[in-house]
DNA sequence: ACGGCGGCTATACGTGGGTATAGTCTGCTA
DNA sequence: TAGCAGACTATACCCACGTATAGCCGCCGT
């Protein structure tokens, strides 16, 4: 349950995997070398191959480990009621060391189970929410869940920019405070009125099967 | 003004740069090779070095080009009023071919000017918005601008997951429609009531300089 | 006591790919 | 016509790194 779960008495296999998660996260898959990973794990390069077959094999093991970790954290904090901030807090703290790896994996389009799992959670969350609201949603629940997931992950994936732009270190309490408040603000204060939203949605429908890309409003 | 601005009668230097933007975007910086880029640009590998000095030099040129492009698009669509969807539409279409490169650059923490520029725009946008609203924001404007920027970029950076999870191709009209509607929904319908938000913000303040990371609510 | 197996190391091989150098061709100025 | 400059090519170098092989050592079952 330690944030970094591994003192130094771990099986070599696990040490290698943890070292890889760090190296891949910090340097990226291509720049990271088996030799460096082995050195960090305090084993010979050959052993890496022995256990994981190849560099790609090692990465797959890392991905799996990441999903395993997410599920663990999830299980531990499945009380997702907004009230229990402390619980979520601790859960996130456990993930933080793996942010760099996570961010890279997601940005490269890997770690799909992780993303999908979060979408699932978002859908559950929206389901509750829809039940307790009377206004009609503009989009189907799944779309909203996917977009919400992407948005929440953006903070991790773009943490270097967020950190720099806010002038705070990013796994860090200051950042948590600023970001959480900003998000609560967005969650609680509508940026556009319902009539404007309906008008925009209608305009979109009119553009319909129209032309090429679009993704999101300016901000 | 063409979406991909370059037929095939461009200066070799420009052809190389465009080829690099594509290769770096699709394969990543490390996996992309100077030789392949040269071939795409229909020049010899040596010429790449001649013009850009090194692979890193080439990447820097790409980053600069990206910022130049953003400013161009911005200038062209500086009428950021939500009404003129068509204008924004065309502007975005011009950027779309560079999404893969953009996404990678941002995820790796590069292309800071691009991010910062978007933060600036968000701040302007929020400034207007704050003026026309009476409710007190929970966070300072800059924090909100940074978070909003990260959120809107998340769609591009995580487009592979978004695309997969929605089952639509991602530079594409279908995706635009779904995503835009979902975003308008979030922008127009508050997810939590103001009293809950205030309570949560207060709770955060109480945790205060507390413990380690936090980033965002579950969804 | 022993045979075998799995964790582990040392060493070597092969090559992809960035970089460096030398040389060619075209066009311009005088 | 000479001669220089810069765009461009061909070729070679070199090393980092993934992969492969062969072997050592300690443990366990019998």
Alpha helices (runs of H) in chain B, residue ranges in sequence order: 12-27, 34-41, 45-52, 55-76, 85-95, 99-107, 112-131, 141-157, 159-166, 173-188, 194-207
Q: Nearest nucleotide to B11 by CA–C1' distance? A: D7
CA angle A187, A191, A196 (to 5 degrees): 130
Q: What is the pLDDT of residues A155-183, one digit of tens each?
A: 999 999 999 999 999 988 899 999 999 99
Q: Strand C: which residues 130-149 of B lie within 7 A (CB)?
A: none
Q: What is the pLDDT of residues A111-122, one digit of tens each?
A: 999 999 999 999
Which pLDDT does position B93 carry in this prediction? Answer: 84
Rounded to the nearest integer, the mean pLDDT of chain A is 86
Beta-carbon neighbour count of residue B119 at 10 Å?
A: 22
- Calculate the angstrom distance between C1' of D13 and CA of A54: 29
Q: How far is A148 from chain B (nearest CA, A)?
A: 6
CA distances from B28 to A31, A90, A216, B20 (A): 11, 34, 25, 10
Q: How does residue B89 score in pLDDT terms, banded at 50, 70 and 90?
A: confident
Which pLDDT does position A201 carry in this prediction? Answer: 84
Which residues in chain A have Cβ-Cβ distances shorter than 8 Å to B160? 109
Which pLDDT does position A212 carry in this prediction? Answer: 36
Nearest to A214 among B143, B149, B180 (CB): B180
CB–CB of A168/A180 below 8 Å? Answer: no
Q: How does residue B10 score in pLDDT terms, banded at 50, 70 and 90?
A: confident
Which pLDDT does position B9 carry in this prediction? Answer: 57
Which pLDDT does position B83 carry in this prediction? Answer: 53
Q: B176, A215: Cβ pair inside 8 Å?
A: yes
Q: What is the pLDDT of residues B111-163, one digit of tens each?
A: 999 999 999 999 998 998 899 888 889 999 999 999 999 999 999 999 999 99
- Check pLDDT > 60 for residue A215: no
Q: B219, A121: Cβ pair inside 8 Å?
A: yes
**CA–CA separation, B194 vs A99, rounded Å?**
31
Which pLDDT does position A203 carry in this prediction? Answer: 83
Q: How does residue B52 score in pLDDT terms, banded at 50, 70 and 90?
A: very high
Nearest to B184 among A135, A156, A200 (CB): A200
Between residues A53 and A212, the one the model is more confident about = A53
- Check pLDDT > 90 for residue A141: yes
Q: Nearest nucleotide to B47 by CA–C1' distance? A: D8
Q: How does residue A217 score in pLDDT terms, banded at 50, 70 and 90?
A: very low
**CA–CA separation, A198 vs B200, rounded Å?**
29
Q: How does residue A96 score in pLDDT terms, banded at 50, 70 and 90?
A: very high
Q: What is the pLDDT of residues B13-27, one digit of tens each?
A: 999 999 999 999 999
């Amino acid at each position: 349950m330690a944030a970094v779960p591994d003192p130094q008495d771990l099986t070599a296999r696990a040490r290698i995997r943890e070292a890889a998660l760090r190296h891949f996260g910090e340097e990226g898959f291509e720049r990271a070398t088996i030799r460096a990973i082995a050195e960090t794990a305090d084993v010979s390069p050959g052993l890496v191959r022995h256990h994981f077959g190849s560099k790609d094999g090692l990465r797959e093991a890392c991905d799996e480990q990441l999903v395993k970790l997410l599920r663990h954290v999830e299980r531990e904090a499945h009380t997702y009621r907004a009230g229990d901030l402390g619980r979520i807090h601790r859960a996130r703290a456990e993930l933080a060391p793996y942010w760099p790896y996570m961010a890279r994996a997601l940005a490269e389009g890997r770690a799909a189970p992780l993303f999908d799992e979060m979408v699932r959670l978002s859908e559950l969350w929206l389901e509750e929410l829809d039940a307790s609201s009377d206004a009609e949603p503009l989009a189907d629940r799944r779309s909203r869940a996917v977009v919400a997931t992407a948005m929440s992950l953006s903070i991790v994936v773009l943490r270097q920019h967020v950190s720099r732009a806010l002038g705070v270190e990013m796994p860090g309490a200051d950042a948590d405070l600023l970001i959480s408040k900003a998000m609560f603000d967005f969650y609680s204060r509508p940026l556009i009125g319902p009539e404007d939203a309906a008008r925009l949605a209608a305009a979109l429908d009119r553009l319909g099967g129209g032309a090429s890309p679009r993704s999101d409003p300016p901000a």
